[in-house]
């Protein structure tokens, strides 16, 4: 039987970290290959207060976002290797996070997507983040969310 391909989307959150840990465990048992994917999300116009009530809106350039994204992929790659799995690579995709995650799983003919139920968002009342929710609906393969 051929190697199993596991797509693991990482946004830099603790939740995604737990997803990586689960994916590595699973990969070790089922001879899996892990592909990490990150989609830079532009800060939705983060307002920063300047002085005297004035504020400016901060936007990161595409290059800066991709640089941050690469750092996230690098950190996750190191984590996978530290956990004892060497068969790992990663990529950055540009666009809507959920759509890009699903597209990556399709392109790689992935056997499984492993992601966090929540991410960097701080919408505490939500049980499942919007990206997880959409990927679970659109996934072409088994989708595991780790809590
Ligand atoms: P929301 O974004 O809706 O405010 P949230 O941030 O708490 O909610 P999600 O964004 O759905 O939750 O994150 C759930 C999981 O989806 C994360 O743990 C991570 O595995 C994956 N994920 C989310 N955003 C990205 C992204 N931009 N790139 C890669 N993976 C992501
Ligand atoms: Mg999010």
Lowest mean pLDDT among 33-37, 55-59, 69-73, 109-113: 55-59
User: What's the confidence (pLDDT) of residue 140?
Assistant: 97
**Contacts of 92 by beta carbon, 8 Å cutoff, 6+ apart:** 37, 38, 39, 40, 66, 69, 70, 73
Residue pointed to by tokens 């901060």: 58
Does 130 sit in the ligand 1 pocket, CB within 6 Å?
Answer: yes
Does 106 sit in the ligand 1 pocket, CB within 6 Å?
Answer: no
Q: How many CB atoms lie within 10 A of CB 91?
A: 16
User: What's the confidence (pLDDT) of residue 54?
Assistant: 72
The pLDDT tens digits for 42-61 are 766 666 666 677 777 767 78
pLDDT bucket at 9, cuts 50 / 70 / 90: very high
The pLDDT tens digits for 90-100 are 999 999 999 99
Ligand closest to CA 15: 1
Question: Count of alpha carbons within 13 Å of 93, Cβ hemisphere only?
Answer: 22
Q: Domain limits of the chain?
A: 4-146
User: What's the confidence (pLDDT) of residue 38?
Assistant: 97
Report, as an integer, the average pLDDT of 54-76.
86
DSSP-derived letter for residue 2 is P
Does 116 sit in the ligand 1 pocket, CB within 6 Å?
Answer: yes
Q: Look up the CATH number of domain 4-146.
A: 3.40.50.620
Mutational test site, ligand 1, from 10, 11, 92, 124, max ligand atoms within 8 Å of CB: 11
Q: Which atom of ligand 1 is nearest to the CA of 18?
A: 18
CA of 1 to the centre of ligand 1 (A): 32
pLDDT bucket at 31, cuts 50 / 70 / 90: very high
The pLDDT tens digits for 83-136 are 999 999 999 999 999 999 999 999 999 999 999 999 998 777 678 999 999 999
Report, as an integer, the average pLDDT of 64-93.
96
């Amino acid at each position: 039987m051929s190697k199993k391909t596991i797509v693991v989307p990482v946004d830099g959150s603790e939740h995604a970290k737990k997803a990586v840990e689960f994916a590595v465990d699973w990969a070790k048992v089922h001879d899996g290959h892990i592909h990490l994917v990150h989609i830079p999300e532009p800060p939705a116009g983060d307002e920063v207060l300047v002085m005297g009530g004035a504020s400016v809106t901060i936007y990161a350039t595409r290059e800066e976002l991709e640089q941050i994204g690469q750092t996230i992929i690098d950190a996750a790659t190191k984590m996978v290797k530290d956990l004892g799995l060497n068969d790992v690579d990663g990529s950055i995709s540009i666009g809507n996070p959920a759509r890009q995650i699903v597209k990556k799983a399709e392109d790689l003919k992935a056997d499984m997507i492993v992601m966090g139920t929540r991410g960097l968002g701080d919408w505490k009342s939500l049980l499942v983040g919007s990206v997880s929710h959409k990927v679970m609906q659109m996934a072409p393969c088994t989708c595991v969310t780790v809590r």
